[in-house]
Amino acid sequence: MVRLLAEVIKIRKKEGSQKIQNFDCETIYLKIRIKGPSRKTYRVPKGIRGKTFTIARTCLRDWPIKKGDFIVLNPDETRRCIKVFGKGIKERRWKDFTIKDIDGDGFGEIVFDNPFLKAVITPHYGARLMELWNKGTKRNELYGGNFYKDKGYIELGGIEETLSKQGKPDELWNGLFINERCKERNTISFQYKMKKEKGIVVRKRFKCYREFPGLLETVDFTFKPEKVKGKKGKKKKKKGIKLTQRIFFAMGGIPDYNNLYYVPTKKGLNCIRFNKPLYKRGWGEHPWWEWTHLHFSPDPGFIILKREISDDVLLIFFNKDEIDYIWTGDKKRTPRLQIFYKEEKIETKKTKQYKTLMVTANIFSFAKKELLFASRGEVIEGYIPLSFVYYTNRRKDRQSISVRWEGRIETYEMKKFEVIGIRGTFFYHTTKVNEDTKKISGTTKNKDLKVRLLLD
């Protein structure tokens, strides 16, 4: 959410005063002139700089606002200002998506809904997946905090990419991606030509599903070099890239110690708790801390994020053969997961592709490198949407599931679902039950995996 910077040009005080927590306060009306964004790397709608606007502020009587002061508008004031000057975006349908100004910053976000999740994509900030709502808990599982960092970077949250070898943000975090035509159904595509990494063109595509509780992100890097100056007709033949995905999250919408990471290993699931540092005490740069949070061989290729004592679950699948290592934790205030990919050499006019599948769920079961999880949605016309998903890291043609609810047991053949570029096979069974149903359970044929979901 953008926040505007403004200069106070006129002040009018409201009669009377009030006390807030034993402090003397007064309400004043401020006529302000918009100077621009509170930080240069924020994007603001064209034509808003220099406009005048009036706001009401309550401030301490001993700490008054004066004419000529610069103030930062809060989100509500910024939103009203953008709306007053006609810079808002009208909601409209486009293909299988909705274009809507979610945060009132004057730029349209792309929204996709299915019975299990709602995804919000921001083309103007790196075409990132900004929000991912779990409809089973009605919470956004991605988070950033909007903290200001060095060199103009703002921790917006969601999922962003960088080509920095150290995993630090680069120009991709707020690059303005341009929408491009895409013939594939339920898919939206964006493109961006990098300025610092000469010759690199980035394409991001998001594919949504109607019955499957997931969202597929595909990132393509294509090398299209320009001619080298002073060397007629010669071009650079290869370009090295090292991708890192920075995933900011807060399961259940709260970035605290109840956020858990589950990393699969040969011995089972390794559970790690996010612990933010104590007040005024940073993590530091000690190598022992770094190494304890590095994971070099997750097997199979996924990470599970969960909130303790909650139904909030987010599963992230990737190609484990392309992973260098994964980092869990954070030295600052917010949980995050960073996926470091191996360095790749891209030849001229060739493309390197990466795929990530994000799936919302409410409960899961893991055994012998196999995974079963269940997702529920919001009540629709008296029914609760449900989806049981089974994953194995090997190729498989068929899978069935036994579903039990209200004294009934039914066995169903699950639909096969594969993602080219992610090892393994998915099967899913999507159904719906009456909203009065109290609980439902699913068991795989070999009975090693079982999930039980409470619906009341």
Determine the distance from the C-alpha atom of residue 261 to the mean position of all C-alpha atoms in its chain, rounded to a whole number: 16
Please answer whether residues 305 and 313 qualify as being in contact, where contact means their C-beta atoms are separated by less than 8 angstroms: yes
pLDDT bin (cut points 50, 70, 90) of residue 279 is low
Output 267 or 287, whichever has higher pLDDT.
267
Distance CA(449)–CA(5), nearest Å, equals 55
* Whether pLDDT at 268 is above 90: no
Average pLDDT over residues 219-225: 94
Would you state the pLDDT for residue 235?
A: 60
Structure tokens at 161: 């990419």
> Is residue 185 very low, low, confident or very high in pLDDT (cuts 50, 70, 90)?
confident
Cα–Cα distance measured from residue 121 to residue 127, given in angstroms and rounded to the nearest whole number: 6
Over residues 424-447, mean pLDDT? 93
- For residue 93, the model assigns a pLDDT of 87
Q: How many residues does the chain have?
A: 456
362-454 carries CATH number 2.60.40: yes
pLDDT at 16 over 80: no
Q: Tell me: the pLDDT tens digits for 45-92?
A: 989 999 999 999 988 888 889 999 999 999 899 999 999 988 888 888
The gap from C-alpha 12 to its chain's centroid, in whole angstroms, comes to 43
Phi, psi for 125 (deg, rounded to 5):
-130, 65
* Residue 332 predicted with pLDDT over 80: no
- List of residues 6+ apart from 232 with CB closer than 8 A: none
pLDDT at 206 over 80: yes
Q: What is the pLDDT of residue 283?
A: 46
Paired with 451 in beta bridges are 442
- Greatest mean pLDDT among 6-15, 151-160, 214-223 lies in 214-223
Q: Give 387's pLDDT tier (boundaries 50, 70, 90).
A: very high
Domain with CATH 2.60.40 in the chain: 362-454
pLDDT value at 274 more than 90: no
pLDDT of residue 267: 83
The sheet carrying 415-417 orders its strands as 363-367, 370-376, 383-392, 425-434, 415-417
**Could you name the CATH architecture of 92-359?**
Distorted Sandwich (2.70)
CA atoms within 13 A on the CB side of 257: 4
Peptide bond into 123 cis (omega under 30): no
CATH 2.70.98.10 maps onto the chain at: 92-359
Summary mean pLDDT of the chain: 89
Q: State the Cα angle at 154 between 153 and 155, rounded to 5°.
A: 120
What average pLDDT does the segment 381-407 reach?
A: 95
Burial of 356 (0-12, 13-18, 19+ CB in 10 A): buried
d(CA 160, CA 162): 7
Residue 286 pLDDT: 43
Confidence of residue 13 (pLDDT cuts 50, 70, 90): confident
Percent of the chain with pLDDT over 70: 93
In whole angstroms, what is the distance from residue 247 CA to residue 302 CA? 13
Name the DSSP class of 334: S
pLDDT of residue 77: 92
Q: 282-301 pLDDT, tens per residue?
A: 544 444 445 557 888 788 99
